[in-house]
Amino acid sequence: MSNRLFQGVVHQMRDTVNRVIGVIDDTATIVACSELSKIGTTNEFVAFEMSDSHEVFTRDGYSYKPFGAHLKPEYAVFVEGTDDTAAKFAQLIAISLTSIKQYYDEKYDKNNFVKNIVLDNILPGDIYVKARELHFNSDVNRVALLIRIISTNEVSAYDVIQNLFPDKQKDYVFNINENDIVLIKETKAGIDARDLSKLAGSIVDTLSSEFYTKAAVGIGTTVIGIKDLARSFKEAQIALEVGKVFDTEENIVCYDNLGIARLIYQLPTTLCETFLREIFKQGSIESLDQETLFTIHKFFENNLNVSETSRKLFVHRNTLVYRLEKIKKLTGLDLREFDHAIVFKIALMVKKYLTANPTKF
C-alpha cells in the first residue's frame, strides 16, 4: 500500500520538479518512479550506500535522500542530478513522503493499531470498529512478550526480532522506548507457558550468540480477542519487574509462573514491614549472617530434608541440626516444621522485595 501511496505523490510532483524522481526501498529496488519503466529495477551499490545513514548522497547521476522511522532507513527518494537543486528536491520530497506515510500508518497500519491497543491509546469502543475497518482477525489466541535490552553491541535488536518473526499478518513487533520491544505473537491452541518460555529462550539466545546483545523477556498470559492484549502486555511488564526482584539470575520470566512472588509484589510496603516485625519478634532478620542465610536457602532447596541438605553442604548432620537450632533461638521459628518454614520463606521474599523497592506500574 505504501508503494501505491508513493507513486501517487511522485506522479503529482513530476511536472513541477521536471526531473526523473522516484523512491527505492531498503533493498534499493525502485518502488515508485516518474518513469514507469524503471519500477522494479535494483541497484545494489545504492543499497550499500543507504544501509546506515539518513544523509543525502549521490550515485550514478542521481541524488538520494534516505528516510524512515527506524535507525536503518526504510526508503530513499532519488532525484535526477547531483547539483544542490536536486539535493533540495530530494530532501523536500522525503519530508513530504515521511509525513504522508506516518499518517497512513496511524490510520491503516495493523502494527500501529496493535501498538495503540497495547498502550491503551484507543478507546475500548473503537477497537472492534477499527479492527473491522482493517480486516483484522480478532478471534485468535495471542500473547504479549516484552523484550528488554540490557546491553547491546550497536545492533538494532528491533530489526533482529522483526527478521525472526517476518509474518506481519500474524506477529507484530514494535518499540515502546529505547530498550523495550514488544512482540505480539499469535499462538495455536494448546500452547502453554513452557512452550512460550522456549520461544523466549530462542530470542534471547539469538540476540546473545549472534549479535552480542543481552536481553530479558517477560511473558504475559495468552488471551483470546484483541481487547485483552493490553492486559497481557501489563502482565509481561510485571513479570520482568517481579523477576528482577525475586529471580535476579533468570532472563526469561513468565507471568503464570510467578506464584507467591506476584502476591507479595502487589502488597503495600507498610504492610510488608509490619509483617516482618510481627514474625521476627525475638530477633530481626538482619541478625542472621550470610552463612546462616546460605544454610537456610539450601535447606529450602532440598525440601526441608536434613540429611540431603547436610550432604549438599558437606557438613555433618549434627552440624546442620545445630545451625537450625541456632536459627530457632534467634527467630523463634523452627525450619524443620512445615508451617514455620513457609512463614520464614515468605518473610525472606518480603525482605528481598523491600530491599529492591521495585517500580510499580
Please tell me the pTM assigned to this model. Answer: 0.68
Task: Indicate the range of 48-52, 332-336, 349-353 predicted with least confidence.
Answer: 48-52
Residue 4: pLDDT over 90:
no
Helix 110-118 and helix 229-246, axial crossing angle in degrees, nearest 10: 60
Q: Specify whether domain 2-105 bears CATH 3.30.750.24.
A: no
- The 10s digit of each residue's pLDDT in 202-236 is 999 999 988 889 999 999 999 998 989 999 999 99
CATH class held by domain 267-356:
mainly alpha
Supply the pLDDT for residue 92. Answer: 94
Residue 253: pLDDT over 90:
yes
pLDDT band at 247 (very low <50, low <70, confident <90, very high): confident
Residue 20: pLDDT over 60:
yes
Enclosing H/E stretch for 70: none
Percent of the chain whose predicted confidence (pLDDT) is above 70: 96
pLDDT band at 76 (very low <50, low <70, confident <90, very high): very high
Other beta carbons less than 10 A from residue 276's beta carbon: 16
Supply the pLDDT for residue 361. Answer: 46
Radius of gyration of the chain (CA): 29
Residue 51: pLDDT over 70:
no
C-alpha cell at 54: 539518513
CATH of domain 110-262: 3.30.70.270
Residues 6 or more apart in contact with residue 157 via CB below 8 angstroms: 147, 149, 181, 207, 211, 213, 215
Residue 90: pLDDT over 50:
yes
Q: What is the mean pLDDT of residues 26-31?
A: 90
pLDDT band at 276 (very low <50, low <70, confident <90, very high): confident
Q: What is the mean pLDDT of residues 247-258?
A: 86
pLDDT band at 107 (very low <50, low <70, confident <90, very high): low
Query: Which residue in 265, 224, 228 sits closest to 244, CA to CA?
Result: 265
Average pLDDT, the chain: 88
The terminus-to-terminus CA distance of the chain in angstroms comes to 37
Q: Where are the domains of the chain?
A: 2-105, 110-262, 267-356
Task: State how far the Cα of 33 lies from the Cα of 8, in Å rounded to an integer.
Answer: 10
The separation between CA 191 and the C-alpha centre of its own chain, rounded to angstroms, equals 20
Enclosing H/E stretch for 180: strand 180-187
Supply the pLDDT for residue 284. Answer: 66
C-alpha cell at 329: 533461638
- Give 81-127 as a DSSP string: -SSHHHHHHHHHHHHHHHHHHHHHHHHH-HHHHHHHHHTT-S-HHHH
Task: State how far the Cα of 204 lies from the Cα of 209, in Å rounded to an integer.
Answer: 9
Task: Give SS3 for 345.
Answer: helix
Residue 24: pLDDT over 50:
yes
Residue 123: pLDDT over 60:
yes
Query: Which residue in 76, 103, 83 sits closest to 21, CA to CA?
Result: 76
Q: What is the largest CA-CA distance in the chain?
A: 95
